[in-house]
Structure 1
Amino acid sequence: MTSFKNPYLQGLLAPVTEEITARDLPVTGRIPSGLRGRYLRIGPNPLGPIGPEDDASYHWFTGHGMIHGIRLRDGRAEWYRNRWVRSQDVAERLGEPWPAGPVVENFDSAPNTHVIEHAGETLALIEGGSRPYRLDHELRTLGPCDFGGTLKGGYTAHTKKDPETGELHAIAYFFGWEHLEYTVLSTSGRIVRSVEIPVSDFPMVHDFALTQKYVVIYDLPVTFSMRMVEDGSSLPYAWNPAHPARVGLMPRDGGAADVQWIDIPPCWVFHTLNAYDDDGGRVVVDLVRFPSFLHGGRLEGNPPPTLDRWTIDPAARHVHQETVDDRAQEFPRVDERLLTRPHRYGYTVTAEAVVQNRAGEALMKHDYSGGSSEVRLFPAGSGVGEAAFVPSAPDAAEDDGYLMALTFDPGREATDLVIIASQDFTGEPVATVHLPVRVPLGFHGTWAPDPA
């Protein structure tokens, strides 16, 4: 689709060059009438021109963020929109005024990693020192956000919402901090708790886990590299064998002095599926684990990630690690009504895109109680993305609902939103919404229902 040599600018990763609005999208099947809201997905989409120097140095994780949205209501797909998030740089490139707001000095990025709804706001998220950006219902950028002056620095892309309190928990990192910043964001959109957790070597902490009792912290051997900065890397984090791997348990009402650190074998974790406290006082964490992450911040060439379970015993100061499924997979999701609590089901994507720069071609559904899994195959080249679970009703049972994911249709050379009944995982989609354009492979998405 392009002439670029950089693998992150080719094929289904290649950027699109235009923003569009399309209305009354064609649908195969029937959209459930109860699905009233927006499916939102974000990812990198560098805003050109891209020259030879950019082609050589560009990394997928660092592209300007573009958000994609599909509005569903009353059985119809009312619209599709794609919009760049207007950071200062993006606004300047587009020749537009920047929607000013409270940025961290020298660290204003167009968020590209996750998009969520909280406290009535649509927030585009990124990590590593930058702040979230607020978006309106139609994906126009409203400006950067510091939660009414309560956020000290940057934020994270991977928050955890406690289903009981509605509060949003987060752990942020920055190469200029000698600590991690744990925060709790209230339902009114203000930081109400903040804890600085000292760490060494400026580690990347992409995700964490949350239970009803603990904040679970991953301090792993991918750390900031000044040598990579000097070499011109746009993602200067690298595998550091001198940095010990450990997992920390901090009581949710505790402080940095209360963190219990437990050493583990070296590994890398991008994403948590879920975590909970068991009846024996242990902490169970389901996640995707890379045995290592060696190749200078590049995704390709690394050993494949597996779906693992860590059982952390605070009394014995031991972490029991076991592989639940050894097939390469990533982007784990769970019914988010069960975050911090025991779950039975989890959903992942085959991970060829992560380890070989190829598009994922299957979704997987894991039954932790039954010890089984199902695989839903898509045609070759489909590039299926992360699947978000949407319950069929607020009080529906776990797994009673729908999975939403974007997948490329090679025949149309455009992208579809597939809506799958999760209890008929391998059956025909309930509905397929046909978008008029290709959506580049990206990261995370969410279902943002209309207010009740």
Structure 2
Amino acid sequence: MPDHPVPDPGRSLEGPLAPVTEEITAFDLPVTGTLPAELHGRYLRNGPNPLGLDDPVQHWFVGPGMVHGVRLRDGRAEWYRNRWVRSRQVAEALGERWAGGPVHAGMDFAANTHVIAHGGRTLATVEAGALPYELTDELETVGPCDFGGTLPGGYAAHTKLDRQTGDLHAVAYFWGWDHLQHVVVGPDGRVSSTTDVPVADGPMVHDFALTERYVVLLDLPVTFSMAAATAGSSLPYGWNPAHPARVGLLPREGTAREVRWSEVDPCWVFHTLNAYDDGDRVVVDLCRYGGSYDLSALSGQGPLTLDRWTVDPAAGRVGRQCLDDRPQELPRTDDRVVSRPHRYGYSVVTGEAGPATVRVDGSFADDAFTDALLKQDLATGRVEVHRFGRDAVVGEAVFAPSAPDAAEDDGYVLAFVHDPDRGATDLVVLAAQDFPGGPVARVHLPARVPLGFHGSWVPDR
């Protein structure tokens, strides 16, 4: 039964994007197959879920966040929970008292993009200046988080954890800044350093990459638009052909941390897969939209491909290699190899016939979301496909190792998959080394999980 029914949200988002209307707690979930006994932890995922605040919804990106979670232990699925992130606005809409806490530049937002764990906290994150929100292990909202008062400004949606140092890296941006800010949060959950990087035009920087030596910055031609802001746009960023596209290498260490920039052809990148140092060069794998990109319609004019960029800072050049020309997004690798050489990547097929487009009203073009995941073996070039069946829809895939010291490919791939026969969602567990084969297990959730953004496998501490 729902814990907290709420008023019907605006229905301008339809199909797999349509928001759910209630919070649910369910225990002892039914499972088809056998859950690996070594999976002890929580699978968490965040995404926008309007509750009437945005009626009609102006853009998929701006709905308040709802975090979904499944607790696995001893071969059982102990619980499923979904909870809205309680910003002040959300809490008041639900008739609750806001927990209170710090707010950056007056921007209090129910973080809707990612959910991570670091320094003993579970954090829902979002970009463009708002602070993350801390959650309990059971996904109840604690309040906005500025890392114990050590964060000087806003934060970011995407983070990269260097598992050898225990440091959590992020690149924050805000329309009112003339710079990007590299933020390092130590293993103790407090900000240990910040570095400002001057940039022009207020670029949107959704993601970045990390190597052992560098923070890899993407300064691309989607920038702050005063015209859009004046017109009241909820997402005041647009394609700016006058803004050069470039990639920057910010040294992680040293006193003279000057960025070395190299220009690239105009393009847009939402997500990187990973990056690593290769001698004096840097290798970055990412999903690239060629040509201009319309953020308001989430539509690129050119192809969407999985690419490898090789950055040569001495020459100031970037070599580009297309690794796979199938449209794909939400790339992930084994989090243990972030900033180090990687062999495998996982992504969602986003269109069989051309660039993936999700219209603002929630309708689909060019089969924008499909029933397929890809596994890339970047050493051999082999690509394996797992299809979940007609009318099924799959979200981002997350890798969970079978043991802390297991090999990169030794583990499981977890994803939420909409089951059209049940009209609800399953948490599907695939064996990474038998990727095209049948699922090891399906955890049957009691509700539908709308397509969202990013998530994490959080093993027990």
Partner of 1:376: 386
User: 1:126 and 1:42 mapped to 2: Cα distance?
Assistant: 10
* CA–CA separation in structure 1 for the residues paired with 2:42 and 2:420: 25
Larger fraction in helix: 1
Distance 1:403 1:195 in 2: 35
Q: Encode CA deviations 1:93-146: one digit per residue, 9 max, x unaligned.
A: 111000111111320100000000101110000000100110001100000000
Tell me the TM-score normalised to structure 2 length: 0.93
Q: Which residue of 1 aligns with 2:5?
A: none
What count of residue pairs does the alignment treat as equivalent?
443
**By how many angstroms is 1:194 displaced?**
0.6
Give the superposition deviation at 1:304.
3.8
CA deviation string 1:239-275 (max 9, x = no partner) = 1000001111111114686111111111111111000
Shift in alpha-carbon separation, 1:381–1:150, aligned structure 2, 3 A: same
Helix, strand or coil at the partner of 2:207: coil
The answer to whether the aligner puts 1:387 opposite 2:397 as a matched pair is: yes
Determine the structure 2 residue equivalent to 1:34: 38
Specify whether residues 238 and 254 from structure 1 end up closer, same or farther in structure 2 by C-alpha distance, changes over 3 A only.
Answer: farther
For 1:27 and 1:402, the matched residues in 2 are separated by 16
More deviation, 231-240/266-275: 231-240
Find the counterpart in structure 2 of residue 437 from structure 1: 447
* Alpha-carbon distance between aligned partners in 2 of 1:34 and 1:233, rounded to the nearest angstrom: 47
Distance change >3 Å, CA 123–CA 262, structure 1 → 2: same
1:275-309 CA distances to partner (integer Å, 9 max, x unpaired)?
00113x11000000011343352214643421000
Asked if 2 retains the 8 angstrom alpha-carbon contact of 1:359 and 1:382, the reply is no
Is 2:348 the partner of 1:349? Answer: yes
Structure 1 residue identity aligned to 2:390:
A
- Give the superposition deviation at 1:3: 11
Displacement of 1:420 in angstroms is: 0.3
* CA distance in 1: counterparts of 2:295 and 2:209, whole angstroms: 26
Task: Look up the match of 2:310.
Answer: 311
The structure with the largest strand share of the pair is 2
Q: Distance in 1 between matches of 2:198 and 2:371?
A: 41
> Does the aligned pair in 1 maintain the 2:10–2:54 contact within 8 Å?
no
**5+ residue gaps in structure 1?**
none
Residue 225 of structure 1 aligns with which residue?
Answer: 225
Alignment partner of 2:23 out of 13, 19, 24: 19
Distance of aligned partners of 1:157 and 1:3 in 2 relative to their CA distance in 1, 3 Å threshold? closer
Q: Per-residue deviation at 1:226?
A: 1.2
Alignment of 1:20-419 (within 5 A): 20-48=24-52, 51=55, 54-55=56-57, 58-254=58-254, 258-279=258-279, 281-300=280-299, 302-352=301-351, 354-356=356-358, 357=364, 358-419=368-429
301-310 or 316-325, which deviates more: 301-310
Looking at structure 2, the residues matched to 418 and 393 of structure 1 have their Cα atoms a distance apart, in angstroms, of 19
Distance 2:221 2:304 in 1: 16
Query: In structure 2, the residue corresponding to 1:20 is in which secondary structure?
Result: strand
Query: Separation in 1 of the partners of 2:409 and 2:448?
Result: 29
Match of 1:446 among 444, 451, 456: 456
Q: Give the Cα separation in 1 of the matches to 2:137 and 2:28.
A: 17
How far has the Cα of 1:41 moved from its partner?
Answer: 0.4
Moved more, 427-436 or 287-296: 287-296
Rate the CA distance shift 1:186–1:50 in 2: closer, same or farther, 3 A: closer
TM-score (ref. length: structure 1): 0.95
Separation (CA, whole Å) in 1 of partners of 2:432 and 2:329: 18
Whole-angstrom CA distance in 2 between matches of 1:256 and 1:154: 24
What's the RMSD between the two structures over aligned residues? Answer: 1.6
CA distance in structure 2 between the partners assigned to 1:80 and 1:47 by the alignment = 20
Q: Relative to 1, partners in 2 of residues 1:373 and 1:443: Cα closer, same or farther, differing over 3 Å?
A: same
Percent identity (aligned): 61
AA matched with 2:175: F
Query: Secondary structure at 2:294's aligned position in 1?
Result: coil
Question: How far apart, CA to CA, are the structure 2 residues paired with 1:354 and 1:380?
Answer: 18
* Over 2 Å off, 4+ runs: 2-6, 254-257, 292-297, 300-304, 352-360
- Shift of the 232–319 alpha-carbon distance from structure 1 to 2, 3 Å rule, reads same
Please give the alpha-carbon distance, in whole angstroms, between the structure 2 residues aligned to 1:232 and 1:339: 38
Amino acid at match of 2:332: R
Counterpart in 1 of 2:4? none
